[in-house]
Amino acid sequence: MCGIVGIAGPPGRDPARHAAVRRMAASLAHRGPDGADDADRDGCALAFRRLAIVDLEAPAPPFPDETGTIWSVCNGEIYNGDALRAELAARGHRFRTAVDTEVIPHLYEEFGSGLVERLDGMFALAVWDEPRQQLLLARDRAGEKPLFYRVESGTLAFASELRAFLELPGARPKVDPVALARYLLHDYFPAPLTPLAGVRKLPAGQLLTWRSGEASLRRYWDLAGWFGRGEMISAREVAAEVDARIGLAVRRRKRGDVPVGVFLSGGLDSATVLAHLAEQEGPGVPAFALGHCDPAFDEARFARATAACYGAEFHELILGESDLEEGLRRVAAGFDEPLGDASTVPTLLLALFARQRVKVVLSGEGADELFGGYPTYAADRLAEGWRRLPGPLRRGALRGLGALLPVRMGNNGIDYLLARFAEGAEHDRVERHHCWFGSFAPARLARLVSPAVRAALAGDAPFAAAHAALAGKRLPDGLSQLLYTDFTMYLADDLLTKVDRATMLASLEARAPFLDHELAEFVAGLPSCLKVRGATGKWILREAGRRRLPPEVLARRKRGFTIPFSRWLLHGLGDRLKLRFAPERVQARGLFDPAAVSALLDAHLARRADHKKALFTLLALDLWCDRVFGEGAAVPLASPPGRDTAAPAASDAERGVA
């Protein structure tokens, strides 16, 4: 993992362009504390920050080909780098290092843009073809590594994080109102949107080609094409194949010249990763877990028992309220885009804790989206039956249950889950799924935003990104639609964003075996009945783990990796939020209606409702606004797409319109 930046523009060498690239790279020093270098080429400047994992003494990229006319930078790891190196060496290519990403400019020589299909790994890469004056950008299949870009005035700038774009000459950041609305609905920014107007996120599995001031996009991989393609074999054979493929994915992700550990929760996914790694490496695998002083949120006891089963070297970090305060401060200072996911706080603290002992960790991201692990998948079936009941009966039942159940402010208790179910149950399958995952359903969002934002959103379709993700996809059933949606949106733009930013702030590399693309393709092809059975999610993954996992791990239900934010608000944090969201401050910021924000916070503090998700989403955004625009400062809004002549208009695809 590293940080990459670059600017391509008119031919020739440009000292101002070179200086800007160096400033951009310096802003990403946390992503690569082990080295830095840059290259000022004809028509393009590239720069790199290195976190050394393989060939620790090697120089930092950019790497050229033998002719010195093809240059590349890459953030990530290429797991088949050794095999590609051997193949290229047999064709006459020469290498200076053992670094896996040095294969990229040589692959480009041989295969052009087709090089991406040959890569097995997590990556965000750039290749500058000097003779053709052409820039190639590409992002890995699942979106583990980030890549942002801006096309303006005949130049293209790219970077691993948004903060780098603030270093460009004359940077005057504005917020994209459409992106803001998507964030409030989803708690994250669905690709290609970002909070900064004019800056786009390259979607996972896509490739961008820039030449003569024009950019074009091509999708080179799509999980949708694999659903329903599996062969008809017995469940026992499927379980054995899943187990073997996970073992292979773990083996591939051990590659490196530094120690490798595991992020371990009390659940099925990380326990599966640990079981395979321990089988391959033997006792003593470093395992890192979080506990909470609040027993309702503490999973350390489960993780400790799992680690003991495999002789892992167990390390636990117990969090109290003061630790969460420090974690929130670090998130506010370090995350370069708002993310309405409270688990960012413990994830960052765990990454900092693990970095004291290892430089690489394996994690369980991707299992829920591939195997069907979220309770919302079972809830979807319930909602389909619920919607067949008469409307007055549905509304009366929900009001009655809501009045009987006290607001517990706990870890997703029945009162909270019922409220979430009610908010989304009346929508169609795709829309209610996003209502359940996000914070502000359209009706609530319309009441929340300021008149200026509301005017900018006139005619906007709130669920445009959600429907666009499925447009033109031939998926076999409703569960497949939800799995695909979560893989391409929630996983890529929330979970993997969280893990990347948190681990990179700690200069730690995280690798996700479940996102091995061959494993993902195989699992996507399995019938839905092997993924969710009744209320049991990840059924086939549990079957695959029966030989190697303790029964209590196989039986454990899905728990969110989060913090006691609801209760924390009732203590000291709530008073500080009352100051942060004071009506005059909200009014000055210009994004929201002060009365609507006050009503949310007051209802929570009075224990009338649990608004933890909504309040964290607003808090994350406001902290980011402080850092980018100034403490409590007004936020400049970009004109709606097509009306702002200072920035390129967003296409329908960029806005999430099918």
CA–CA dist 628, 66 (Å, integer): 42
Round to the nearest angstrom and report the end-to-end CA distance of the chain.
34
Domain, as residue range, for 159 = 2-174+196-221
CA–CA dist 467, 433 (Å, integer): 12
Do 429 and 549 reside in the same domain of the chain?
A: yes
Do 80 and 200 reside in the same domain of the chain?
A: yes
Residue labelled with tokens 């005949």: 154
Partners of 180 in the beta sheet? Answer: none
User: What is residue 613's predicted lDDT score, i.e. its pLDDT?
Assistant: 92
Residues carrying an active site annotation: 2
Instruction: Tell whether 118 is covered by a domain.
Output: yes
Domain termination site, one of 562, 578, 600: 562
Instruction: Tell whether 658 is covered by a domain.
Output: no
User: What is residue 208's predicted lDDT score, i.e. its pLDDT?
Assistant: 98
Instruction: Tell whether 601 is covered by a domain.
Output: no
> How many domains in the chain?
2
CATH number of the domain that 80 lies in? 3.60.20.10
Do 439 and 469 reside in the same domain of the chain?
A: yes
Instruction: Tell whether 605 is covered by a domain.
Output: no
CATH number of the domain that 548 lies in? 3.40.50.620
State the virtual CA torsion across 101, 102, 106, 112 in degrees, nearest 10.
30
Do 281 and 214 reside in the same domain of the chain?
A: no
Do 168 and 300 reside in the same domain of the chain?
A: no
CA–CA dist 516, 530 (Å, integer): 20
Provide φ and ψ at 340, rounded to 5°. Answer: -85, 55
Instruction: Tell whether 576 is covered by a domain.
Output: no
Instruction: Tell whether 623 is covered by a domain.
Output: no
User: What is residue 373's predicted lDDT score, i.e. its pLDDT?
Assistant: 95
CA–CA dist 316, 200 (Å, integer): 38
User: What is residue 380's predicted lDDT score, i.e. its pLDDT?
Assistant: 79
Domain termination site, one of 545, 562, 579: 562
Domain termination site, one of 562, 597, 626: 562
Instruction: Tell whether 595 is covered by a domain.
Output: no
Do 258 and 394 reside in the same domain of the chain?
A: yes
Do 260 and 206 reside in the same domain of the chain?
A: no
The secondary structure of the chain in percent helix, strand, coil, rounded to multiples of 5, reads 50, 15, 35
How many C-beta atoms lie closer than 10 Å to residue 11's C-beta? 10
Do 304 and 447 reside in the same domain of the chain?
A: yes
User: What is residue 401's predicted lDDT score, i.e. its pLDDT?
Assistant: 56
Do 163 and 236 reside in the same domain of the chain?
A: no
Do 433 and 552 reside in the same domain of the chain?
A: yes
User: What is residue 642's predicted lDDT score, i.e. its pLDDT?
Assistant: 38
CA–CA dist 40, 72 (Å, integer): 12
Instruction: Tell whether 602 is covered by a domain.
Output: no
Do 150 and 260 reside in the same domain of the chain?
A: no
Looking at the chain, how many residues does it have? 658
User: What is residue 587's predicted lDDT score, i.e. its pLDDT?
Assistant: 98
Residues in the chain predicted with pLDDT less than 70, given as ranges, are 1, 384-389, 391, 393-426, 558-561, 640-658
Do 140 and 243 reside in the same domain of the chain?
A: no
CA–CA dist 439, 416 (Å, integer): 13
